[in-house]
Amino acid sequence: MQNNLVFRDGVQVMRVDLHVHTEVSHDCRTRLRDIPAWMLRTNTRVIAVTDHDQQRGGPELARIVADLGLDNRLSIIPGEEVTTSEGELNALFLQQRIPAGLSPEETVREIKAQGGLVMLQHGFDPLKRYRLRPEATQRIAADIDIVEVFNSRLSRHHWNGVALAWANRRGLPVCAGSDAHTLRDIGEAWAETPFRLIHTPADLLATLGESVVGGRWTHPVYAYGRKQWRTLNGRFRRDEPA
């Protein structure tokens, strides 16, 4: 596997992508076993697996990473993109699945009961069909741990700026998420930080405190077409690094 090491001023750095979908999601075909090689190739050393209303993808991928002997190079955060009664909310460091359909407040309580982190994703993009409703965001604002301020799949990059301003007013840690639904989307949004392994919520929060957010925004029409092409192409060949 290609191991792409990156150094800045003599310090090894890595990328962190906290919003990734896999074959466990109903709308994604990315095979879990293909992800470690892509992470090494793109220097995306930490990802959160946030499949739609499913938690098992993260633990399964972590086992694959361990079986490959890569758990000293890559960190997998088990998570879930939970469909609440008022839109989606990302949960990180989950021990078990949280059911869909709970209120945002109930979902937050379930996340915290597992020792997890509440992550507000999708910014404030009004065209994101499943974004958390603004009134719900305000109700749970005090319980949000991390704000996604760069999402590669928003309708306009402008909404990433709105999320950043919202997070800054509250002094909240910020992150980036590719919202990847194909293998090659993983790492298109990132927080770059000095390399370290991530095992706990405290590890992640400390890492984000030293990070710089970046990414590539893709117009949603183009992103949809590219996803369809990559999905079709992947039926005939393995969509993974050579």
The domains located in the chain, with CATH, are: 6-234 (3.20.20.140)
Element (H, E) at 47: strand 44-49
- Residue 13, classed as helix, strand or coil, is strand
Confidence (pLDDT) at 218: 74
Closest CA to 148 of 126, 178, 112: 178
For residue 235, pLDDT over 60 is answered with: no
* Per-residue pLDDT tens over the stretch 167-195: 999 999 999 999 999 999 999 999 999 99
Q: Are 36 and 20 contacting, i.e. CB atoms less than 8 angstroms apart?
A: no
- Residue 119, classed as helix, strand or coil, is strand
Confidence (pLDDT) at 240: 43
CA distance 173 to 205: 7
For residue 237, pLDDT over 90 is answered with: no
Confidence (pLDDT) at 229: 62
For residue 136, pLDDT over 80 is answered with: yes
Q: Is 122 left (phi over 0), alpha (psi -120 to 50) or beta?
A: left
Amino acid at 178: S
* Per-residue pLDDT tens over the stretch 56-78: 999 999 999 999 999 999 999 99
For residue 213, pLDDT over 60 is answered with: yes
For residue 241, pLDDT over 60 is answered with: no
- Residue 147, classed as helix, strand or coil, is strand
Q: What is the mean pLDDT of residues 229-237?
A: 57
Element (H, E) at 117: strand 117-120
Q: Which residues of 110-129 are buried (b: 16+ CB within 10 A; e: fewer)?
A: bbeebebbbbbbbbbbeebe
For residue 201, pLDDT over 90 is answered with: yes
116: pLDDT confidence band, cut at 50, 70 and 90? very high
How many other CB atoms sit within 10 Å of the CB of residue 226?
15
pTM of the model: 0.90
For residue 200, pLDDT over 70 is answered with: yes
Confidence (pLDDT) at 242: 32
Closest CA to 37 of 187, 195, 191: 187
What separation, in Å, do the N-terminal and C-terminal C-alpha atoms of the chain show?
9
Q: Are 155 and 127 contacting, i.e. CB atoms less than 8 angstroms apart?
A: yes
For residue 154, pLDDT over 50 is answered with: yes
Q: What is the mean pLDDT of residues 127-143?
A: 95
216: pLDDT confidence band, cut at 50, 70 and 90? confident
The radius of gyration computed from the CA coordinates of the chain, to the nearest angstrom, equals 17
Amino acid at 20: V
